[in-house]
Amino acid sequence: MIELIDLHSDNAVGMKISGKIERPDVDRVYEVINDKLSRVEKLSVYIEVDHLTGITFDALIEDVVQAVPKIFRLKKKAVVSTAKWLEVFTKIGDKLLPSIEAKHFAPEQKEAAKAWVVA
């Protein structure tokens, strides 16, 4: 499930992931992303991962289809979690896509992560 978080910024989208991600979750997120990208050139993303138990195949395909054309319109990505593998993936993503500044934050750093992503 993805819950949208209002970051009070036209240049950022926030979300909290818990459990399994399904297609309606992805559709909801991209509705907000597409709306914001119709008004701004670059967008930052805040992702808080409570616990991720998986993603359905159709949600994964839709995420890839929607994300690929927008990849160079992303500015920053903040990932908040306790999962070591997400910290590693965030660091790898930061190196592979130098146009997107990506940082991992611990849960106690949520407010700092939000402030960083909207700055």
How many structural domains comprise the chain?
A: 1
Q: Across 12-82, where does the E strand assignment appear?
A: 12-21, 43-55, 74-80
User: Residue 28's domain is classified under what CATH number?
Assistant: 3.30.750.24
Write phi, then psi, for 13 (nearest 5 degrees): -125, 135
Distances (CA, A) of 45 to 22, 33, 57: 19, 9, 22
What pTM value is reported for the model? 0.94
pLDDT computed for residue 96 by the predictor: 86
Domain range for residue 98? 2-118
Regions of the chain short of the pLDDT cut 70: none
pLDDT computed for residue 94 by the predictor: 85
Burial of 8-47, coded b for 16+ CB within 10 Å and e otherwise, reads: ebebbbbbbbeeebebebbeebbeebeebbeeeeebbbbb
pLDDT computed for residue 60 by the predictor: 96
